[in-house]
């Protein structure tokens, strides 16, 4: 199985990016075709990249749009060069060991309907796995693999066939929830998603609230996610559950104000094309432990 990798960077972590590329390059099996996308920077001028393809974006288009540019480079290759699966990796991570690629190939070969593999993310200093990095409602043991209903945006492998069938990431999201939008479309098309604890990306533990726009965008995109993908009867239920949970968890007005503004923005604005999932997909997600109202 021919693999490729898309790495998005803003050019502010050149040493970490070069280290990631080295860990991709040392993987066993056929060489991995690497695309580095400079989101508002000239990736072609970054140091120590080696033999990789680069895409220079004149401005920061956001995470989903930036990654989409990398996917397009690979999808537009001649058939004999086009990868069968694409690794999407954060530029400050590194693959653990030299067997990740071979394990990805084996997993896809063993299950033809496996569409997306979500990696375990481990802090290299402490060895801990953050709760938010295990895509299950009941996290349980992070070293336990299972089928899931979403995946980690910067630590995954996706079949090219999934992107060709259901489309790329929603560029208008800019940041947050774009991978869940893709996951729901993939599930509705009959693909499965697995969290694999034996595939590790080493990545420093961080908090998503480090982004200044976190509260506004996470609320807006949550609304867009529902409006784009859920049957209409579930949209108000899903949003009501998240509204209640957020208000209960956050009593700080400095947090709630931008969140409420983002929620209102999502309600008022267009979410883009609507492709509601089938009720059989709702039931399938429920059986996997995450009905799309949670």
Give the DSSP H/E element, type plus range, for residue 289.
none
**DSSP letters along 61-75, please?**
--HHHHHHHHHHHHH
Please give the Cα distance from 194 to 215 (Å, whole number). 28
Residues of the chain with pLDDT under 70: 209-212
pLDDT of residue 287: 96
pLDDT of residue 14: 95
**DSSP letters along 112-154, please?**
TTEEEEEEEEE-TTT----GGGS-SSS---TT--EEES---TT
What pTM was computed for the model? Answer: 0.95
pLDDT of residue 209: 63
- Strand, helix or coil for residue 193: strand
Express each pLDDT in 33-89 by its tens digit: 999 999 999 999 999 999 999 999 999 999 999 999 999 999 999 999 999 999 999
Please give the Cα distance from 181 to 257 (Å, whole number). 25
The backbone region for 48, taken as left when phi is positive above 0, alpha when psi lies in -120 to 50, beta otherwise, is left
- For the chain, give the mean pLDDT: 95
pLDDT of residue 250: 82
pLDDT of residue 213: 85
């Amino acid at each position: 199985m021919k693999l490729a990798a898309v790495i998005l960077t803003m050019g502010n972590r050149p040493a970490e990016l070069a280290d990631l590329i080295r860990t991709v390059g040392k993987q066993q099996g056929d060489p991995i075709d690497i695309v580095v996308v400079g989101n508002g920077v000239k990736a072609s001028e970054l140091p120590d990249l080696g033999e990789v393809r680069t895409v220079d974006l004149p401005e920061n288009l956001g995470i989903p749009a930036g990654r989409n540019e990398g996917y397009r480079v690979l999808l537009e290759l001649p058939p004999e060069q086009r990868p069968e699966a694409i690794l999407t990796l954060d530029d400050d991570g590194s693959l653990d060991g030299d067997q990740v690629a071979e394990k990805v190939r084996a997993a896809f070969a063993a299950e033809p309907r496996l569409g997306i593999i979500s990696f375990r993310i481990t802090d290299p200093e402490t060895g801990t796995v953050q709760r938010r990095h295990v895509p299950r409602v009941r996290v349980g043991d992070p070293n336990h693999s299972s089928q899931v209903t979403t995946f980690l945006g910067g630590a995954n492998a996706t079949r090219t066939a999934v992107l060709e069938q259901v489309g790329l990431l929603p560029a208008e999201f800019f940041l947050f929830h774009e991978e869940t939008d893709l996951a729901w479309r993939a599930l509705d098309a009959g693909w499965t998603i697995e969290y694999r604890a034996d595939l590790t990306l080493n990545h420093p533990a961080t908090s998503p609230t480090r982004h200044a726009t976190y509260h506004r965008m996470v609320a807006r995109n949550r609304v867009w996610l529902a409006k784009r993908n859920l049957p209409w009867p579930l949209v108000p239920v899903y949003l009501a559950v998240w509204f209640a949970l957020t208000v209960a968890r956050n009593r700080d007005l400095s947090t709630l104000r931008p969140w409420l503004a983002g929620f209102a923005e999502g309600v008022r604005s267009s979410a883009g094309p609507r492709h509601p999932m089938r009720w059989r997909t709702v039931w399938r997600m429920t059986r996997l432990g995450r009905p799309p109202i949670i």
